[in-house]
Amino acid sequence: MAVTEQHGATVQSPGDGVAFVDGEFVPIGQARLPLLDWGFTRSDVTYDVVHVWKGSFFRLEDHLDRFQRSCEHLRLDPGYERSEIRTLLMNCVRLSGLRDAYVEMICTRGVPVPGSRDPRDCRNGFFAFAIPFVWIISPERQKEGAHLIISKVPRIPPASVDPTVKNFHWGDLTHALFEAYDRGAESAVLVDSDGNLSEGPGFNVFRVHEGNVTTPGGTVLEGITRQTVRELCEELGIPFASKSITPDELRDADEVFISSTAGGVMPVTRVDGRVYGNGRPGPLTTRIRDLYWRKHEAGWHATPVDYELP
């Protein structure tokens, strides 16, 4: 399906964001989904999120790679070629005028033919939007470090829902978030069926101990920012490994931090009430975070948005 510039002509007051829906660009507040789309009624959907910082996408091709893999895994066809999806995302950002943005691409199972419950009868749908940048942990809160809990809510088993494919099955994650709020924390880390750490709502978690950085391996989302942390550790000469981590090992860490497209590298200073160091972001976490933002600002893995296109 061709991408044409005429789609953007009707966008008005786009400052809050722009969406691509049913082949048209519209202000985010006017975006609508079909009520019977299985992406809505059954969470039969995959998505990916990439951010724009200072007018450039960060690791756009890596996010497109993962989105393509997820679609193939779920037997979804977005109906657009990779180059067209790239252009649609670019146009969402360009039309919004946002220099710092949270950009999401979505492929749904779609609406079935009347009377059918066969997923093969659905026409898959593609949607995208760009809104102002989203932080899992606000910059102000990061100065002190986030407070997390290790949730009593177990992660959905990977045999049921593959966590390496981004999905809308957030029931366990949302339940864990409410538990965190009830316990005075900002967010939570969930454990898997073996009792080891998995991930949090929209982020990967890292343990720093005796100068080494580890993160849960196995069946967790292979976060793009998680991959970035690995690369930064290699550059800094910090040993890095993906492995099983128990809740007690996280509580006994020297430092803890999390990573996400929605915020980069973010320090944690308390888990289950246990305070790390002096209650401020740790030195190794700070080195990794500072390098992340220095390289980010310098255009590392950047794909600029052309805001001047007609």
DSSP string, 159-176: TTS-TTS--S--HHHHHH
Q: Are residues 149 and 198 in the same domain?
A: yes
Predicted local distance difference test score (pLDDT) of residue 305: 97
Domain assignment of residue 307, yes or no: no
Tokens coding 293 = 């933002």
**Is 99 domain-assigned?**
yes
Q: How far is CA 266 from CA 84, 93, 143, 213, 235, in A?
A: 33, 25, 9, 14, 19
Predicted structure pTM score:
0.92
Residues 127 and 37 in one domain: yes
d(Cα 162, Cα 310) in Å, to the nearest integer? 42
Tens of pLDDT along 212-228? 999 999 889 999 999 99
Within-domain flag for 310: no
How many Cβ atoms from other residues are within 10 Å of residue 235's Cβ? 11
CA-to-CA distance for 164 and 180, rounded, in angstroms?
24
Longest Cα separation, the chain: 62
Last residue of a domain, one of 117, 133, 149: 133
User: Which pLDDT tens digit goes with each residue over 148-194?
Assistant: 999 999 999 999 999 999 999 999 999 999 999 999 999 999 999 99
- Give residue 231's domain range: 139-297
| Alpha helix ranges (H) inside the chain | 38-41, 60-73, 82-96, 139-144, 171-182, 224-236, 247-251, 283-297
The pLDDT value given to residue 15 = 73
* 18 CB neighbour count, 10 Å cutoff: 28
* Residue 9's pLDDT band (cuts 50, 70, 90): very low
Average pLDDT over the chain, rounded to an integer: 94
Same domain, 256 and 143: yes
- The share of the chain scoring above pLDDT 90, in percent, equals 93
With a pLDDT cut of 70, the percent of the chain lying above it is 95
In a domain, 309, yes or no: no
Instruction: Please name the amino acid found at residue 203.
Output: F
Last residue of a domain, one of 85, 117, 133: 133
Assess if residue 9 is contained within a domain: yes
Residues 147 and 75 in one domain: no
Domain edge (last residue) among 83, 102, 133: 133
Which tokens is 173 given? 């994650």
Q: Are 288 and 210 in the same domain?
A: yes
Residue 303 located in a structural domain: no
Q: What is the mean pLDDT of residues 61-69?
A: 98
Instruction: Say if CB 304 and CB 55 are below 8 A apart.
Output: yes
Q: How many domains does the chain have?
A: 2
What local confidence, expressed as pLDDT, does residue 309 receive? 73
Q: So what's the pLDDT on residue 6?
A: 42
pLDDT at 2: 36
Identify the DSSP state of 300: T
17 and 46 housed in the same domain: yes
Provide the 3-class DSSP secondary structure of residue 299: coil
Q: Looking at the domain assignment, is residue 302 inside a domain?
A: no
Q: What is the mean pLDDT of residues 117-128?
A: 96
